[in-house]
Amino acid sequence: MTFFYRAFSGLPRRLLLLLPLALLSLAAAAQGQLVQYRAAKNQLDQGHYEVAMKQLQPLAQPVNHFAQAPDAGYLYAVAATRLGQWAEAEQMLNLVRHEYPTYAALNEVLYLQGQVSFELGDYDNALRTLGQLPAEQYAGLREAMQTSYLAKLKDRPTWQRLRQRYPNSKLVGRLYADFLLGGGSLADADRQQLDALITQVSPLADAQAVFETIDNNPAGMKYLLQTTSLLTL
């Protein structure tokens, strides 16, 4: 007597007759999900982002047991970013990260979430999320994104908070120095912070990069001339 026979021999005959139908129904549902997923990808490729989001959203939910659910969630987030729906994108990316932690393309999820967090003004979460990416593959892309968004940051309290949380980041230090120098005349507190930044950023080539905005900033040029002795290896 086989294991299969022993396992199902105790079931009512009616249930045994319905079992093949149930299996066929599950197979049909899975095929229907795959068809819907492919259609959603086509809509995304054609720029029909709202339609794609409507088709992808249910496929990403764990309750529906779609084999490519994390892919559906990621593509949903991509479509949302194309529409500027950053909050919706963040919600779906969080779902993918928490529900599918072994997703093969998780690094792409982290990279996209970094951009979404920047767009939402959550600079700390953006830097923290991007910091989880492997440096060998994403160092250049990560720095380019961080530079692009931080260079546009004009809020002093946010800058000060980032400096406190990432005191060893040369990128944050350099861009914060650019922010201080771009503000015109320098207060005493700004001068003290610049002294610390110049000392931190080394070698000399990096220190000079701190002042990349100086050509159009007389106050910054004057300050640099006064502190040339600090620019040492």
Per residue, the 3-state secondary structure of the chain, as one string, reads: CCHHHHHHCCCCHHHHHHHHHHHHHHHHHHHHHHHHHHHHHHHHHCCCHHHHHHHHHHHHCHHHCCCCHHHHHHHHHHHHHHCCCHHHHHHHHHHHHHHCCCCCCHHHHHHHHHHHHHHCCCHHHHHHHHCCCCHHHHHHHHHHHHHHHHCCCCCHHHHHHHHHHCCCCHHHHHHHHHHHHCCCCCCHHHHHHHHHHHHHCCCHHHHHHHCCCHHHCHHHHHHHHHCHHHCCC
Tell me whether residue 194 is in a domain.
yes
Tell me whether residue 2 is in a domain.
no
pLDDT of residue 174: 87
Q: Which residue has the higher pLDDT, 120 or 7?
A: 120
User: Which CA distances in Å does 140 have to 51, 79, 93, 111?
Assistant: 34, 24, 22, 12
Mean pLDDT of the chain: 80
Distance from C-alpha of 27 to C-alpha of 32, rounded to nearest angstrom:
9
- pLDDT (tens digit per residue) in 114-163: 999 999 999 999 999 999 999 999 999 999 999 999 999 999 899 989 98
Domain interval for residue 176: 159-233
Distance from C-alpha of 174 to C-alpha of 63, rounded to nearest angstrom:
47
* Domains held by the chain: number: 1
pLDDT of residue 179: 86
- pLDDT (tens digit per residue) in 163-182: 899 988 889 988 988 888 87
Tell me whether residue 212 is in a domain.
yes
Confidence of residue 31 (pLDDT cuts 50, 70, 90): confident
Tell me whether residue 45 is in a domain.
no
- pLDDT (tens digit per residue) in 60-103: 999 999 999 999 999 999 999 999 999 999 999 999 999 999 99
**CB contact burial 47-57 (16+ within 10 A = b; e otherwise):** eebebbbebbb
Tell me whether residue 147 is in a domain.
no
Tell me whether residue 63 is in a domain.
no
Tell me whether residue 230 is in a domain.
yes
Q: Residue 148 has which token pair?
A: 């692009």
Tell me whether residue 174 is in a domain.
yes
